[in-house]
Every structure is written in C-alpha cells, then in structure tokens.
Structure 1
Amino acid sequence: MNDIDQERAFRQTGWPGVRARLFHLFFLIRRPMTLGVRGLVYDRADQTVFLIRHTYVPGWQLPGGGVEQGETMEEALRRELAEEGNIAITAAPVLKSMHFNRQASRRDHVGLYLIEHFAQSAPKSPDHEIAEAGFFRLDSLPQATTPATLRRLAEAFGETAPSPYW
C-alpha cells in the first residue's frame, strides 16, 4: 500500500467526515489561525509510547489538541495529556518540531513535544472522546497507527528528517 492509499484509509467519510469539517469550520470562524499540540510521551526504560484512539476519528495517534485563546502551547499540552491520558508532565517537555497540518485546513499548525518525564495517575478509561489509550512498544505499535503518527515517531527517534507537514 503506497503513502496516498495509507492516508486515504484514515480519512473520515460520511457523518464523521462532515462533523470533522464542521468542527474545523467552527474554529476557522472563531480563530482564523489554529494551533495545536501533540505529545510524544516516551518511557525510555520500557521503550514504549503513549497512544490514543479517539471515538470520532480512525486510528491510533499521539495525544493532543488545540491551543485555546490565552493558553500557551505547554499549558495546552499539559491539559490535553491530563484529559486524554491521566498523564502529568514532571519536567519541561522538549519542542521537537512544528508542522503545517494542511489536511485540517490551510491555516493549522501543530507543535510536537517529547515528554520523557511524566507520571500517570491511573490508566485512561474510555469516555466520550477517548475509545482506547495505552503504552505500546516501538517495535509493536497497533496496526491502525496513523501514518502521521508513524512519521512523527520516525522523525523523533532519528530515522528520518522532520517534515514541515503533519
């Protein structure tokens, strides 16, 4: 399967696709430039990464979300990790790269942070937003890990140069 086919496999169609476009339209109207954060939570001892599977988009991906008005990128990262994984950052996260997310809109950018110092208060239970969450070894990621997530992991661990695109 080539890269284009892999990307298509994770595109939303039907009502979820319409809902996602309406969501982005709402944010385009509310804040014309959108900014998001994703956290690569990495347990070096176990060589595992934390991934989530949303209820409203397909595939396993890195946790994260939008930066709200008046919020710093790091504040948004801390909030999203707490909401999506019961994870608290215990040392400064490292901004690894910035990406233009042209699939979301023509004005969306995402900052990728590496988090190696953290605590998880409890495993994340499913809720209205998160269907599943957990730590996975780098050599045995879930089959439905999104292509963008695989690219970020390869970039973060030095297998490829960072792309300017999400």
Structure 2
Amino acid sequence: MAISDPEQAFRQTSWAGLRARLFHLYFLLRRPMTLGVRGLIHDRTSNSVFLIRHTYVPGWQLPGGGVELGETLGEALTRELAEEGNIALTAPPVLKSMHFNRRSSRRDHVAFYLIESFSQTAPKLPDHEIAEAGFFPLDRLPEGTTPATLQRIAEVFGGDPASPHW
C-alpha cells in the first residue's frame, strides 16, 4: 500500500534510518571489529623488501597498523608507511589479499598491499615505536622475520596461495 501523506512517509523513513543507526551502534558495541593494513614494499632494482622491528613486539615484519576512525584503507596505509618508514606512495598500491588475524582478536582483519612504486625521503631512524627498519634482499631476510611476514612474501614471490589467516 502506497503512503500518500508525505509527512507520514517522512516519519517512517526517519524511523527506519534511526533504527538502522541504533542497530549499527548496538553491533559496534557488542561485536567491535578491528581493521588493519600492511604493506609489502618491494624495491625491484635491488630485489629487496622493507621490514621493520617494533620496540614493543618481537620479530621483523611488514610496516602497517590499524585503520583509524574516519580513515580509508588507503589513507591508513599512506600514514603508516610515512610513520614507520619515511616512505611515500608514488602510485596506487595493489590490494593483494584480506586476512583474518585470529592471533590479534576474534574480529581483526588485515588488508595486505603490494607496493612497488614509492619514494623514501630518508632512512628510517629508530624512535619510540620502531627499533630498526630497512631494506633486505629477498634471499637474505633477517633472522627473526615473523611467520606471517614470511608467508606473505611467499604468497607474492613464491606463488603460494593466499591464506585466509594472517
């Protein structure tokens, strides 16, 4: 049945929108999901990849981090690369895969990107978050490279199928 009263139609539409926002808020509070980004920065000239070692977790890993409120995946990746490596994108990154990170939480997901067009303004110096950072040849990755990092590298360069898990 069509609604002929515009005011009644507006009230029903407004209630539906409010109800949708309330349900969204309820699910956000009950089942918050976290989303992160990681970038595999590959220097084709030297066939090396950029890795970081944090001050607060063990192992060498790909740069990246959480997507902040109001931020797109691309914006988060751009911010994290600048913060953790003094690296700027010079072309759009390639989204390679999405992963469930069950080690982090029951609702954490990571968007994994390949970056081959970039610039680095200066080598990344240690700070409160990053203990070490640098480019490493694919055949000489540092001892302590995390299993997830090794798996992502194998998926991109070794032809391994992308795992659904980080």
Q: Give the shorter-chain TM-score range.
A: 0.7 to 0.9
Amino acid at match of 2:84: E
Amino acid at match of 1:152: R
Please give the alpha-carbon distance, in whole angstroms, between the structure 2 residues aligned to 1:156 and 1:35.
21
After superposing the two structures, state which structure 1 stretch, 154-163 or 143-152, moved more: 154-163
| Residue equivalent to 2:61 | 61
Distance 2:120 2:34 in 1: 28
Per the alignment, residue 125 of structure 1 pairs with: 125
* 1: CA distance, partners of 2:71 / 2:96: 19
Question: What does residue 161 of structure 1 align with?
Answer: 161
The aligned counterpart of 2:145 is 145
For residue 156 of structure 1, report the CA deviation from its aligned partner: 1.1
Match of 2:135 in 1: 135
Extract structure 1 runs of 4+ deviating beyond 2 A: none
How many angstroms apart in 2 are the aligned matches of 1:89 and 1:161? 26
Superposed CA RMSD in Å reads 1.5
Name the aligned partner's letter for residue 57 of structure 1. Answer: V
Q: Aligned equivalents of 2:44 and 2:110: distance in 1?
A: 24
The aligned residue for residue 70 of structure 1 is 70
Question: Could you state the TM-score of these two structures normalised by the residue count of structure 1?
Answer: 0.81
Query: Does structure 1 residue 84 correspond to structure 2 residue 96?
Result: no
CA displacement at 1:120 relative to structure 2? 0.2
Q: CA deviation at 1:45?
A: 1.2
Residue in structure 1 matched with residue 52 of structure 2 by the alignment: 52
Give the total of aligned pairs: 139
Per the TM alignment, residue 32 of structure 1 is displaced from its structure 2 partner at its CA by 1.1
Identity of matched residues, %: 76
5+ residue gaps, structure 2, are: 1-27
Tell me the secondary structure at the aligned position of residue 49 of structure 2.
strand
* Superimposed CA distance per residue, residues 122-149 of structure 1 (whole angstroms, 9 cap, x where no aligned partner): 0000000000000000000001100010
- 1:89-133 Cα offsets, whole Å, 9 max, x none, are 000000000000000000000010000000000000000000000
- Structure 1 unaligned spans of 5+: 1-27
Residue 158 of structure 1, CA deviation: 3.7
Amino acid at match of 2:68: E
